[in-house]
Amino acid sequence: MCHQTVSLAARHLEANGIPTIVMGCAKDIVEFVGVPRFLFSDFPLGNPAGRPNDRESQAFTLDLAVRLLAAAPAPRTTVQSPLRWSANPDWKLDYSNIARLSPEEIAARRAEFDRQKDIAKTVLNNPQAAT
């Protein structure tokens, strides 16, 4: 949902005259919302700004992003970073892939999801109650 939130924020700023660049890893979500400029890193969610413990990769990614602020010729400009997460693309098969979960895992995840939802509700209604 992070990608949806920042995409909506980017649109709102842009509609009010402030140029924006979204950095993210979920191409379909950002483009479905529709943003002016998007630097897409084909990395696992959590790494919009470069590879972990790799300053060069992070500097490269942010530099590409800010250059796009000036260089994008029109809305819906997406640039895909040339950086690769791994030579092996199999990591892309895992995220939220229901076909890869056993019935026991599905039941456990449902229970955990319900539990976290209850915690979030408690925090929202009474921030001091969170433990």
Partner 1 sequence: MSDHEDEGFGFAPEHDRPIPYMQRISGYYQGLGYGAPYRWAHYAEVPFAPLQKPLAASRIGLITTAAPYQPGHGDQGPGAAYNSAVKFYEVYSGDSAQDHDLRISHIAYDRDHTTAEDPNTWFPLPALRQLAAAGKIGAVAPRFHGAPTNRSHRTTLERDCLELLKRVRQDAVDAVVLAAV
Q: Which two tokens stand for residue 41?
A: 């890193």
Contact positions with partner 1 (CB under 8 A) in 24-53:
24-30, 32-36, 40, 42-53
- By the rule CB under 8 A, 10 interacts with partner 1: yes
Distance CA 108, CA 131 (A): 22
- By the rule CB under 8 A, 56 interacts with partner 1: no
Q: Site mask, partner 1, residues 62-101, x = CB under 8 A?
A: xx-xxx-xx---xxx--------x---xxxxxxxxxxx-x
Among 19, 81, 83, 128, binds partner 1 (CB under 8 A): 19
Dmax (CA) of the chain: 51
Q: Do residues 75 and 28 lie in contact, with contact meaning Cβ atoms separated by under 8 Å? A: no
**By rule CB under 8 A, what count of residues binds partner 1?**
89
Q: How far is the CB of 79 from partner 1 (least distance, A)?
A: 13
Helix (H, G, I), strand (E, B) or coil at 31: helix
Please give the DSSP secondary-structure letter assigned to residue 38: E
